[in-house]
C-alpha cells in the first residue's frame, strides 16, 4: 500500500516535470513557439515573483488573489446558508418542495453567467454584482445535493429512531442532519467548483481587481506571461480549496472516511 | 420424550393462563397500495404474546411476516385490525416496543456508545442514569472495548450486538426482532442465538421474533406461529416445551435432542407445504 502510494506520487510529479521540460524545449530561444504567444517557464516564474512584489493593474498578486477569494468565499458561503437549510427542508417537508421547487427548476437551466448582464444593470460592476453571480452559481449545487443528502438516508434509520422514542424534530436534527454530513461535504466541493469557475468569468466581464481581471487585461496588453501566471494561480487555488474541503470531512464526519470494516 | 407428541397441538392454545396478554395483534390485514388492487401482504392474522413469552413467527420468504412486525411496532398502520399493548391501543412507535432490525439500522454517524444511548437521550433519561445503563449493556453484550468505534468499523455480528444493546437499554416491555440474525454468518448466528436464549431466560423479556429458520424457531420459541405464503395467514400455532434442559444449553446439542428433531420435522413440514405448493 505504502509502496504504490509513493509510486503514484512519483509518477504524478514526473508527469508535471515532463510537461515543464517539453514547455521549456518548445519555447527555447530559436524554438518553434514564439515567446509572444507562449513565454518560457523561467520568464513566467520571473513574472510571478515580480507580480508578487509590485502592483500589476492596480494591485499586487496577493491582493488580486485576496480579491478573488473574498468574492468566491462570500458568494459560496451565503449560498450555503440558503441552500443547505432550504435543500434539507424541501426534502423533509414535501409541501415546501411543491411550492419552491418549480421556481427553482425554472431558474436552474439559466447559466450563472447569463445573470451577469442583469446584475451589472442592478448592482454595477462592484463586489456585490460578482458576489450575486457566484451566489447563484453555488446555490444550485448546494441545494440539489442537500436534498439528495436527505433522500439518500436509509429509511430504516428513521424507523429505528422512531422506535427509540425520537420525535420528528429530534429525528431531523440528530439523525437526518448528521447522517447527511458526508454528502454535504461533497456538495461543498461541487458548489465551490461551480463558484470558482463562474467568478473568473465574472471578473473578465466586470471587475476592478482579481485573477480573472488580471487575465483579461494581460490578454489585451499582450502580457502573455502575466496571463499564464493568472491561469496557474486560478488552477492552484482551485486545487487548494478543494483539498481543504476534503480535510474538513475528516473532522466533520470521521465515520465516513474510515477504512473497510474488519471482520 | 413421551410428552412431546402430546405437546404438539394445533390451533391457538393457552400454555400459561396465569400471564396476561402483553402484545396482541388482532385480526391484522395489510394491503400495500389500494385495497383489492395493491399487494395483499397479511390477511387476518391474530397473535397474542403473553408477558414473558417468546413467540417466534416462521414462514416462507415474502409471506408478510416482516410486515406483521412493522405493524406490531407501530411503524405501519394496518389496513384492518388493531394492535393492543396491555389491552389498550398501542399507538405510535416508541420505546415500550423496542425493535431489532435484520439490517441493524445503526446510526452511522454515532459511535457504539452514542448509538446505545440514543433512545435514552431522546426520552430524557438523566445523564447519570444513561451512563449506568450504558455500562450495563456494554458489559452484557461484550462491547466494552468497542465503545468508541463507529458501526462501519465493526463486523456484522458486533453491529447486531450493538443494535440489541440499543433496544435492551430502553428496558422495553416488548422486544420485536425482525430476522435479527438473517444477515450474519453461521458461527456468529449460533453465538447470538444462544445469547438471546440466555437473555430471555434470565430477564424474562416478552419477545416477538420473526425468522425463516426452523431451527432458530424451535430453539428459541415458547410458541411457534407458522404462516402461509402471501397473503400471510396463520397456518398453525405450535406450543414448544419450556424449561427443558435442551433449550438452555448450546444450540448444537439441542439440535441432537429427539424432541428438537421431532418439532423441527413437524414445523419444517408445515413451512415446506407453503413453499412447494406454489
User: Who contacts B107 (Cβ-Cβ below 8 Å, separation ≥6)?
Assistant: A157, A160, A161, A175, A178, A179, B114, B115, B118, B151
Q: Determine, yes or no, domain membership for A14.
A: no
Q: Determine, yes or no, domain membership for A3.
A: no
Quote the minimal CA–CA distance from B67 to chain A in Å: 13
Around Cβ B5, how many Cβ atoms within 10 Å?
Answer: 11
- DSSP output for chain B: -THHHHH---S---S-TTSPEEEEEEEEEEEESSTTTSEEEEEEEEEEEETT-EEEEE-STTSSHHHHHHHHHTSS--SEEEEEETTEE--S--TTEEEE-TT----TTS-HHHHHHHHHHHTT--HHHHHHHHHHHHHHTT-GGGTT--GGGS-HHHHHHHHHHHHHTT--SEEEEESTTTTS-HHHHHHHHHHHHHHHHHH--EEEEEES-HHHHHHH-SEEEEEPSSSB-EEEEEE---S-HHHHS-HHHHTTSHHHHHHHHHHHHHHHHHHHT-
Is beta strand B223-227 parallel, antiparallel or unpaired with respect to B54-58?
parallel
A190 CB-contact burial (10 Å; exposed 0-12 / middle 13-18 / buried 19+): middle
* A262 vs B: CB within 8 A: yes
Quote the minimal CA–CA distance from A166 to chain B in Å: 5
Q: For CA atoms B211, B215, B221, B225, give the dihedral sign.
A: positive
Average pLDDT of B207-228? 92
* A156 vs B: CB within 8 A: yes
For the stretch B91-110, pLDDT in tens is 899 889 999 998 899 999 99
Q: Determine, yes or no, domain membership for A140.
A: yes
Domains contained in chain B, CATH given: 20-96+174-278 (3.40.50.300), 107-171 (no CATH)
Q: Determine, yes or no, domain membership for A164.
A: yes
Q: Does the distance separating the beta carbons of B103 and A157 come in below 8 Å? A: no
Quote the minimal CA–CA distance from B75 to chain A in Å: 7
Query: B185 pLDDT band (50/70/90 cuts)?
Result: confident
Q: Does the distance separating the beta carbons of B95 and A160 come in below 8 Å? A: no
Cell of B105: 439500522
Q: Does the distance separating the beta carbons of A160 and B105 come in below 8 Å? A: yes
CB neighbour burial string for B196-234, b if at least 16 within 10 angstroms, e if fewer: bbebbeeeebbbbbbbbbbbbbbbbbbbbbbbbbbbbbb
Q: Determine, yes or no, domain membership for A22.
A: no
Residue A259: what pLDDT? 56
Any idea what the CATH number is for the domain that residue A202 is in? 1.10.3720.10
Between A160, A170, A178, which is nearest B101 by CB? A160
Residues of B in contact with A154 (CB under 8 A): 105
CB neighbour burial string for B130-152, b if at least 16 within 10 angstroms, e if fewer: beebbeebbebbebeebbebbbe
Q: Which of B97, B108, B182 best probes binding to A when mutated, by most A CB atoms within 10 angstroms?
A: B108
Between B70, B101, B109, which is nearest A253 by CB? B109
d(CA A50, CA B68): 76
Q: Determine, yes or no, domain membership for A25.
A: no
Query: B255 pLDDT band (50/70/90 cuts)?
Result: confident
Quote the minimal CA–CA distance from A256 to chain B in Å: 8
Residues of B within an 8 Å Cβ radius of A: 70, 73-75, 92-95, 97-99, 101, 103, 105-110, 118-119, 122-123, 150-156, 166, 170
Residue of A nearest to B149 (CA): A255
Predicted ipTM of the assembly: 0.85
Render each residue's pLDDT in chain A as its tens digit; 263 residues. Answer: 567 888 999 999 999 999 999 999 998 888 888 888 889 999 999 999 999 999 988 899 999 999 999 999 999 999 999 999 999 999 999 999 999 999 888 988 898 888 888 888 898 878 888 899 999 999 999 999 999 999 999 999 999 999 999 999 999 999 999 999 999 999 999 999 999 989 878 887 777 889 999 999 998 988 999 999 999 999 999 999 999 998 888 888 888 887 544 43
How far is the CA of B257 from the CAs of B196, B228, B246, B261, B267, in angstroms?
A: 20, 27, 7, 6, 16
Quote the minimal CA–CA distance from A252 to chain B in Å: 10
Q: Does the distance separating the beta carbons of B156 and A159 come in below 8 Å? A: no
d(CA A263, CA B15): 42
Domain hosting A242: range is: 39-253
Q: Please give the tally of structural domains in chain A.
A: 1
d(CA A263, CA B26): 42
Between A157, A165, A256, which is nearest B119 by CB? A165
CB A44 within 8 A of CB A61: no
Q: Determine, yes or no, domain membership for A106.
A: yes
Q: Determine, yes or no, domain membership for A52.
A: yes
Residue of A nearest to B110 (CA): A255
Q: Which of A241, A131, A233 is nearest to A189 (CA)?
A: A241
Amino acid at each position: 500500500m505504502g509502496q504504490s502510494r509513493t509510486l503514484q506520487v512519483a509518477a504524478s510529479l514526473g508527469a508535471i516535470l515532463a510537461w515543464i521540460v517539453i514547455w521549456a524545449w518548445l519555447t527555447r530561444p530559436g524554438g518553434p513557439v514564439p515567446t509572444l504567444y507562449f513565454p518560457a517557464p523561467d520568464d513566467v516564474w520571473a513574472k510571478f515573483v515580480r507580480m508578487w512584489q509590485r502592483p500589476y493593474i492596480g494591485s499586487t498578486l496577493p491582493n488580486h488573489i485576496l480579491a478573488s477569494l473574498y468574492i468566491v468565499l462570500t458568494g459560496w458561503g451565503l449560498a450555503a446558508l440558503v441552500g443547505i437549510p432550504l435543500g434539507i427542508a424541501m426534502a423533509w417537508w414535501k409541501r415546501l418542495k411543491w411550492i419552491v421547487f418549480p421556481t427553482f427548476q425554472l431558474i436552474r437551466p439559466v447559466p450563472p453567467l447569463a445573470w451577469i448582464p442583469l446584475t451589472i444593470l442592478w448592482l454595477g460592476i462592484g463586489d456585490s454584482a460578482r458576489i450575486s453571480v457566484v451566489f447563484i452559481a453555488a446555490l444550485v449545487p448546494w441545494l440539489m445535493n442537500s436534498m439528495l443528502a436527505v433522500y439518500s438516508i436509509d429509511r430504516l434509520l428513521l424507523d429505528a429512531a422512531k422506535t427509540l422514542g425520537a420525535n420528528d424534530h429530534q429525528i431531523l436534527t440528530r439523525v437526518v442532519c448528521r447522517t447527511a454530513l458526508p454528502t454535504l461535504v461533497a456538495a461543498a466541493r461541487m458548489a465551490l467548483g461551480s463558484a470558482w469557475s463562474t467568478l473568473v468569468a465574472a471578473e473578465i466581464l466586470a471587475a476592478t481587481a482579481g485573477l480573472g481581471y488580471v487575465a483579461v487585461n494581460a490578454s489585451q496588453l499582450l502580457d502573455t506571461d502575466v496571463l499564464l501566471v493568472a491561469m496557474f494561480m486560478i488552477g492552484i487555488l482551485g486545487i487548494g480549496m478543494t483539498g481543504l474541503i476534503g480535510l474538513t470531512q475528516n473532522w466533520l464526519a470521521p465515520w465516513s472516511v474510515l477504512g473497510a470494516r474488519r471482520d | 420424550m413421551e410428552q412431546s407428541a402430546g405437546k404438539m397441538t394445533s390451533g391457538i392454545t393457552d400454555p400459561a393462563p396465569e400471564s396476561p396478554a402483553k402484545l396482541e395483534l388482532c385480526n391484522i390485514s395489510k394491503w400495500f397500495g389500494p385495497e383489492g388492487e395493491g399487494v395483499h401482504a397479511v390477511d387476518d392474522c391474530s397473535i397474542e404474546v403473553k408477558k414473558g413469552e417468546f413467540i417466534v413467527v416462521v414462514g416462507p420468504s415474502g409471506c408478510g411476516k416482516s410486515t406483521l412486525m412493522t405493524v406490531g411496532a407501530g411503524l405501519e398502520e394496518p389496513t384492518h385490525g388493531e394492535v393492543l399493548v396491555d389491552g389498550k391501543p398501542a399507538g405510535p412507535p416508541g420505546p415500550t416496543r423496542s425493535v431489532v432490525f435484520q439490517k441493524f439500522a445503526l446510526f452511522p454517524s454515532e459511535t457504539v456508545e452514542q448509538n446505545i444511548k440514543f433512545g435514552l437521550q431522546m426520552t430524557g433519561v438523566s445523564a447519570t442514569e444513561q451512563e449506568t445503563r450504558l455500562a450495563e449493556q456494554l458489559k452484557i453484550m461484550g462491547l466494552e472495548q468497542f465503545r468508541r468505534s463507529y458501526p462501519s468499523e465493526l463486523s456484522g455480528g458486533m453491529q447486531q450486538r450493538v443494535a440489541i444493546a440499543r433496544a435492551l437499554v430502553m428496558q422495553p416491555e416488548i422486544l420485536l426482532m425482525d430476522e435479527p440474525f438473517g444477515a450474519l454468518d453461521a458461527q456468529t448466528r449460533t453465538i447470538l442465538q444462544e445469547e438471546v436464549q440466555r437473555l430471555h431466560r434470565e430477564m424474562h423479556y416478552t419477545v416477538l421474533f420473526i425468522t425463516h429458520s426452523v431451527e432458530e424457531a424451535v430453539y428459541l420459541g415458547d410458541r411457534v406461529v407458522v404462516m402461509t405464503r402471501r397473503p400471510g395467514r396463520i397456518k398453525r400455532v405450535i406450543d414448544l416445551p419450556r424449561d427443558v434442559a435442551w433449550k438452555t444449553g448450546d444450540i448444537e446439542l439441542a439440535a441432537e435432542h429427539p424432541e428438537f428433531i421431532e418439532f423441527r420435522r413437524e414445523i419444517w413440514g408445515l413451512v415446506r407445504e407453503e413453499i412447494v405448493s406454489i
